[in-house]
Chains A and B, each alone.
Chain A
Amino acid sequence: MSAFSAIGERGEVEREEFTPGMEPQPTWCPGCGDFGVLKALKQAMPEVGRSPDEVLLCTGIGCSGKLNSYFESYGFHTIHGRSLPIARAAKLANPGLEVVAAGGDGDGYGIGGNHFVHTARENHDMTYIVFNNEIFGLTKGQTSPTSPKGHKSKTQPHGSAKSPIQPLSLSLTSGASYVARTAAVNPNQAKEIIVEAMEHDGFAHIDFLTQCPTWNKDARQYVPYIDVNESDDYDFDTTDRSEASEMMQKTEEALYEGEVLTGRFYVDSDRPSYGQEKRAIGEMPEEPLAERYFDEEYDWERSHDLFLDKHK
């Protein structure tokens, strides 16, 4: 019998179950794009069909890091930039969990950039939502890794001399097997993309455009947006790496010219997830490790029996 009976109980799940019983008042500013992520995530859950007890939502630091304060599930509000290594280890420890990580653009593409590259490379079976508002919000408006070149802020008084990071292209070259961009102002597409990302067996990265009405007033509200999968103006194959790559670059450049392109950019459903790869080479057990500590029948190995002979 499983010690984690919530896992695997698929079926009817209501959106309301993901709203805390006594909802804490979000600390986000009025008009913040973060509300859009919370809403889309809650809406996605009934379609994914997993209960709050099955979900582990790991967040970073920043306004986005408070997501799990307002979303009912197991939550781990970690430290700046480190949600991914914590989340992916939890998935390895108990693969039955639905693991989601979330954080801002500074958190994921700046301080946590190394983890982003490597988690994508390893293709862990999890979803990563990056709240991309092109600014550091909670620390009051400093230039972020996605701020446009020339962006002025208190810490870049003469305008940023740096070109912004290209999150979609970085994700693709790093090895993510599902890459999408959506926007807070487009809740239906956002919900659909979150559902697909959670159902995807591999690392699914969502660059989620979230307007910051307080510190990034100059930036657009990410409207109007165009869905590249539906628009007749764009024709590319999301399963083809080079076509996806070209489309991503076009999209990343367009954003800074005022054109908001969203949608699925790359989907590779064939690539095995990291857990599958690890199991295939015998470096990860078939049964979830977390269960073993509750298995009273398990015969725990001893180094005295297994390893001491070679020292004699």
Chain B
Amino acid sequence: MYFSGPAGSRVKGARKEKIMRKGIALALAVACVSMAQDRKDALRESLKDTAVGAGWFYDDLEAGTAEAKKSGKPMLVVFR
């Protein structure tokens, strides 16, 4: 993106661009997570798989692994 004008406004413009980029990246990430969540919810609904206990990671091994790394707990992975 190009901003015309004196040096000060170019700096402001660059900062604005950076913020905008971060904003767009964040919005995209949120959208992707939301879409992934929607897919999982749809899958869960289609399987009528609503009796999974609270605190379980549903069809998300990566998130479960990250939590196990953080907490130091062992993992229990159920394939059903």
A binds B: no
Q: Which residues of B come within 8 Å of A, CB atoms?
A: none
Q: Which A residues form the contact surface with B (CB < 8 A)?
A: none
